[in-house]
Structure 1
């Protein structure tokens, strides 16, 4: 860097800070850099408003620093330090967005309170590695540029002769101008944002991604932080919003009907032919960690030979003893696995932006375990996580489980050796299967809800699991390891069922198996098996998880069922209630085995699925061109339905039903 006069160095620093920091915001708001997110389609004016909000806030900060520091060097260092901090902030937001598929908010910061240190360490390494591999390191370029300017500041010492501003009055006028102009711009941006969401779904339902794209990244997060830390959040009371309360009451009244009206205003009755066909049997529900539906019946061709990824799961899916639904979608939010549990056990959707188990769970939800308890069943919740993970030591009791069996209990009862039976921080699935096997040998009516955990992202190399299959050199990166982990799961799952058969108790039990959420593959990963993959197809593949009802010894093929209708995790409770003839009061969702049309959605990304189309609501994209002209109407209808579902949780409706 050639010799630059004092004023030139200061001007260069300010311009570098403003320009690089403003450009860096594109890393969060441009679809090109966020292939796994559903960014909002916003009109040009709103996009300009977001830029204006961020530019205004940066101007305010520069003006404040000019007022605060008389020493030029300290002013430069403060600006550079802030620039580095904002660059790191953007990269951190990228890490969050890459894993969760949505924007961070301080109101869902409790997501990080889960006690899983090994998972946290592995995810950090994994996400950093993938972000750099995908070119997301660009977000850190401004930081290195600011560091370079800082080095020049110390090596060239441009302010050696005149360390302080000589014309303080002029500096003060410039600072006040920047401060006032910036305040006007950022305030104007905030006013536009609140007017933009006024009387819309987003006024009631805080959505960080919508705020970031409308108000600006830096501007929005400053407001979000202030709201979270300073402004008291009143206890939400539904009675203060009579119109919304009337809609919620009507929704609940409809759910109490024996044949509630579906979204097309048609009655949605259960399949009477299957009512109570499993009555008296035991039920085990396996929620399978990160298992996407594309794994089922998937083969990899190596040297002219096809090799199945999960041959045992394929055999179950294709058996006459199984109902396999291939258009089944996950309903998780930022709570990931726990949100999928909540949807499946209650029939309600999580809000998407708040972890349900942390903020919204109460003891009076009608749940699958509580319904079984009414029938005299003993109910078990089994998983390989520690008891505090997602507060399950409290929440499983609220959900109606008699017995909660976390890692601590499994260890205390000598089911595993932590030096041997732990993989990537998780208790091995074989331990879970051993425990379930022992419980199923008890002479009692049972409902068991068990989670597999080992196939949780990230998929680091593990001896005996990765690099041992024939596709090692055919399928690369995380997808290859993802296949390896699921192949290993398939092997131990087969051994579990074989043991039940050897014990002669297999046919006493019905098994329901479904994936909880995406395996977090990137588009570039999946392009190895789906060349020319589009964003819409990628989102559909990500949220499509398998669902199977497996009844050993029973021929389920005799029933004329359409197993390709759109279904989701929130439909499980009603389905189980019909198949086991439970006394369900609230009929949320549809009976999966019926031929009723329905919809399902992902609460976090707002992907909406029906039998006619897949709609990416934020982008107003509809996969079926026949519905594209109706996109805004469909989005408005859907968000109204979601608003009602979310109000049931937010306003704790079942505390005073």
Structure 2
């Protein structure tokens, strides 16, 4: 290294910076390094455009540093520091993508505003650990190489004899040429991007992953940052977009029909045989944290003996008093749990890229709690999070809850001891169930919406929960702990129902239970139980959550129902309205107990599920060969549907009533 002359050393730094930083972008844009994220299928020209956009920006920055820094050492050091910064940026984007399954955008930065410090600390440790375990540390290799070059800059006393650039005129000309060339490349890349999304779904619906793959990762995030911080966001009314408004109006008009047309153009009616079957009963909806459907009826064999992970839940699933749907999918976006709540309570899908509770919640949504309130029910929202988590202290009132019971109220009413009843930062689920039990003893018509929280990722070791079960040596790493947490929750749930049975409350109450979102297992984790799992199967398993209707004392087995039809969280509101005979006006989704065909999708990853196929919309990959030549057609109708659904939120359609 000492033998390299000053000119060669500077050239080495510039070359290393450009080459390594350009190669590092693959960590974000290649499917191989992103098994939990659905990357877009793009043509060769679009991929080259992204490379050009990033290369142009890097060249422009090198040229800018050449103008700003007149000494060789300061110029070299600035290039190396920028290289380290971009390397850390890529790794940080990997952390975000690993948890959320999509690309970061400054416009959804409010995702980090939730007040859950323990969760934040644990997630950071967990995600870093898993990224290194999965080999994603490669993203930091350039940073270490740049640090090494920076060290040699001082230890070898580089540029001591000739600290200044000898030919300042030549330096300026080279810098200006480099800046202009780089700006030309980045500008051209941006123009191609905007032309590429012109008159498409992505012009209306900002999608960071699409931008990164089309414009380039560094190029896109610079534009995204400038747009977020500098450019005023123009307020556009839906009336200013007559075509879109007409589509939204038609969508709303269809939803108000007795039997709205489904995506195939067929009438989607309710199951009239079950209309009002639960009228007069209390309803408890339990949204179960991070519970995937593959946990249902799952057993692990140890030394020739089979052990159920969730035996009590399985007993409910297999009961004649239960309707269990095994093709039920989560409809969450970056808002995770809160987005799943929103879909279930309103029948509308979140946009996926923006936390609904932060930006899109309005006063006039028709919701399950508001419908029950109109019928004279008392409505409760109960969870073990702080009241400010997802702004629920404001949003629950907007959704129609009369009583909101967060962690602060549970503590004030002496329902738990913060020294003993906190697990991984969450109020123990036993506390939530104790409160629900007390509520159900009141002599009033009730709708109770309760959230479990303890089984939230990450699954750190907790005394008495992990490393105590027989499968500890059989199922390892996060999946083993995930089993442990769900096994413990199963016992808590059993104690809850046992208490309700003792109090003779069960016969007057209906329970709906469903998972909110994935448990965030990696493909490596799931290979322990699905050795030959593919990316397609992995995405389906991740978004497949259980849904069951449990009516103790009633026999639901005699109804002619197909419980393996595709359903989702956005179908819950219409189902509750039918079974309890509520005065619903907007019939979004499908009534789950009907035999009507429907679809479900994940707004964040754009996995689309129907009874015929699972299409990964960005990649145009379908798991049914019979639909292989129809993927573009399917993508077109799906994006039209999503555009309209998202417009209802984005333009606050119900605020105008």
Task: String of CA shifts for 1:599-623, please: whole Å, max 9, x gaps.
Answer: 0100000000000000000000111
CA distance in 2, matches of 1:589, 1:101: 25
2:591 maps to 591
Q: Which position in structure 2 is the counterpart of 1:309?
A: 309
Match of 1:533 in 2: 533
Tell me, in whole angstroms, the C-alpha distance in 2 between the residues paired with 1:340 and 1:232. 31
CA distance in structure 2 between the partners assigned to 1:418 and 1:504 by the alignment: 31
Partner Cα distance (2:91, 2:236) in 1? 34
Cα distance per residue 1:193-224 (max 9 Å; x no partner) = 00000000000000000000000000000000
**Pairing 1:390-405 to 2, within 5 Å after superposition:** 390-405=390-405
Tell me, in whole angstroms, the C-alpha distance in 2 between the residues paired with 1:194 and 1:521: 36
Once residues 497 and 618 of structure 1 are traced to their aligned partners in structure 2, the CA distance between those partners, rounded to angstroms, is 43
- Separation in 1 of the partners of 2:292 and 2:83? 40
The DSSP-based 3-state class of the residue aligned with 2:64 is helix
Write out aligned runs for 1:51-200 (5 A). Answer: 51-200=51-200
C-alpha separation in 1, matches of 2:506 and 2:538? 37
Name the structure 1 match of 2:575. Answer: 575
Matches within 5 A, 1:32-431: 32-431=32-431
Say whether the 8 Å CA contact 1:309–1:486 is kept in structure 2: yes
For 2:7, the equivalent position in structure 1 comes to 7
Separation (CA, whole Å) in 1 of partners of 2:41 and 2:309: 38
Partners of 2:378 and 2:57 lie apart in 1 by 58
Q: CA deviation at 1:158?
A: 1.8
Counterpart in the other structure of 1:638? 638
Partner of 1:474: 474
| Deviation of 1:236 (Å) | 2.7
The 8 Å contact of residues 338 and 390 in structure 2, kept in 1 or not, is answered as yes
Structure 2 residue runs of 5 or longer lacking an equivalent are none
Match of 2:451 in 1: 451
Distance 1:583 1:247 in 2: 25
Q: Work out the CA distance in 2 between the residues paired with 1:623 and 1:559.
A: 31
Cα deviation, residue 2, structure 1:
3.6
1:381-428 per-position Cα deviation (integer Å, ceiling 9, x unaligned) = 000000000000000000000000000000000000000000000000
Aligned residue runs from structure 1 range 480-559, under 5 A: 480-559=480-559
Tell me which residue corresponds to 1:24: 24
The Cα offsets for residues 139-179 of structure 1, whole Å up to 9 and x where unpaired, read as 00000000000000000112000101110011111111110
Partner Cα separation in structure 1 for residue 2 and residue 74 of structure 2: 22
Distance 1:264 1:586 in 2: 19
Structure 1 unpaired stretches of 5+:
none
8 Å Cα contact 2:334/2:604 also seen in 1: yes
Deviation at 1:363, TM superposition (A): 1.1
Give the Cα–Cα distance (whole angstroms) in 2 for the partners of residues 235 and 586 of structure 1: 27
Whether the 8 Å contact between 1:5 and 1:158 is mirrored in structure 2 is no
Whole-angstrom CA distance in 1 between matches of 2:236 and 2:88 = 35
Matches of 1:488 and 1:236 in 2, distance apart?
49
| TM-score, with structure 2 as normaliser | 1.00
**Residues of 1 paired with 2:261 and 2:134: CA distance?**
46
- The answer to whether the Cα contact below 8 Å between 2:321 and 2:554 also exists between their aligned partners in 1 is yes
Separation of aligned partners in 1, 2:56 and 2:260? 51
Count of aligned pairs between the two proteins: 657
Q: Secondary structure at the match of 1:470?
A: coil
Contact kept, 8 Å, 1:382 with 1:432, in 2: the verdict is yes
TM-score relative to the length of structure 1: 1.00
RMSD: 0.4
Does structure 2 retain, via aligned residues, the 8 Å contact 1:28–1:34? yes
Question: Where has structure 1 moved over 6 Å in runs of 4 or more?
Answer: none
Distance 1:400 1:136 in 2: 44
> 2:307 and 2:46 mapped to 1: Cα distance?
50
Q: Distance in 2 between matches of 1:577 and 1:146?
A: 61
* Aligned-partner Cα distance in 2 for 1:545–1:48: 39
Q: What is the alpha-carbon distance in structure 1 between the residues aligned to residue 41 and residue 166 of structure 2?
A: 49
Contact 2:283 2:446 in 1 (8 A): yes
Residue 618 of structure 1: SS of its match in structure 2? Answer: coil
What is the DSSP-based 3-state SS (H/G/I as helix, E as strand, rest coil) of the residue aligned with 1:556?
A: coil
SS of aligned partner of 1:379: strand
Q: Deviations over 1:67-90 (max 9, x none)?
A: 001111110111011000000000
Q: CA deviation at 1:192?
A: 0.3
* 1:620 equivalent in structure 2: 620
